Amino acid sequence: MDDEDAKREQKFNDLISEEYYRKKNHIKKIEKGNEEINSMIPDTEEILKFLKQIYHNAQIPAEAAIMALAYIERFLTLTDITFHHSNWRLICLGAIMVARKVWIDKSRISNLNFIQIFTYLTIDDLATIEREYLKALQFMVSIKPSIYAKYYFSLCSIADKNDSNFPLKPLSKKNQERLKRLSHPYAETMGKRRRSRRSRSVHSPKESPKVVVGK
């Protein structure tokens, strides 16, 4: 890896690091009772508490939670990034922001609700995380019903093993069809801009963007 590649990798790692945003926004201390950052690997209870807080405050549809899980795995596979204490929340956040907009099918839905949880982030920071997350996903935001089902039944299995209730039902036929045709406008728009810049740089005709379904 040359110096330029190393710099790009470091910049990307910074953009999903809580410590980076705390320094950038001059946040020296996080108040007790807020989303405390610590140096320990989170346990199941901490992760569950964090996710419940997000889904409650931002009113995330249950289906988007399944999609977010698929995005997280896709993100980790495409970037070779691993979870650690400073990035796991923002990796989850990026997936949830994208999944919510894809499922609700509104590219301009506000991210303001997340500020109540991530008090050290600004609206511009959230937009940056969302944008970089999409780039890392290579704009592959569509999910096949079969992929959705894989994650759904995996979660059901985990719930059964832990004697936990899993109230979410499988996708209806209507929502399966909806998932098949989801090709989200805001991801396509960003893809168009990226491809447009690339095509202008080589003086070639503008290419019509494609959203890849599945992985």
Residues 6+ apart with CB under 8 A from 19: 37, 86
Q: Do residues 60 and 117 make contact, with C-beta atoms less than 8 angstroms apart?
A: no
8's tokens: 């790009």
The whole-angstrom separation of Cα 190 and Cα 186 is 6
Domains of the chain: 17-29+42-162+171-201 (1.10.472)
Taking only Cα atoms into account, the Rg of the chain, rounded to an integer number of angstroms, comes to 18
- Residue whose pair of structure tokens reads 């936990």 in the numeric block: 164
In angstroms, the Cα distances linking 134 to 69, 106, 127, 128, 141 are 15, 15, 11, 10, 8
pTM for the structure as a whole: 0.75
Give pLDDT tens digits along the chain (215 positions). Answer: 566 666 667 777 888 888 889 888 877 655 444 444 555 678 888 888 898 888 888 888 889 999 999 999 999 999 988 888 889 999 999 999 999 988 887 666 788 889 888 999 999 999 999 999 999 999 989 898 999 999 999 989 988 888 787 878 888 888 888 888 775 455 454 445 444 544 444 443 443 333 333 33
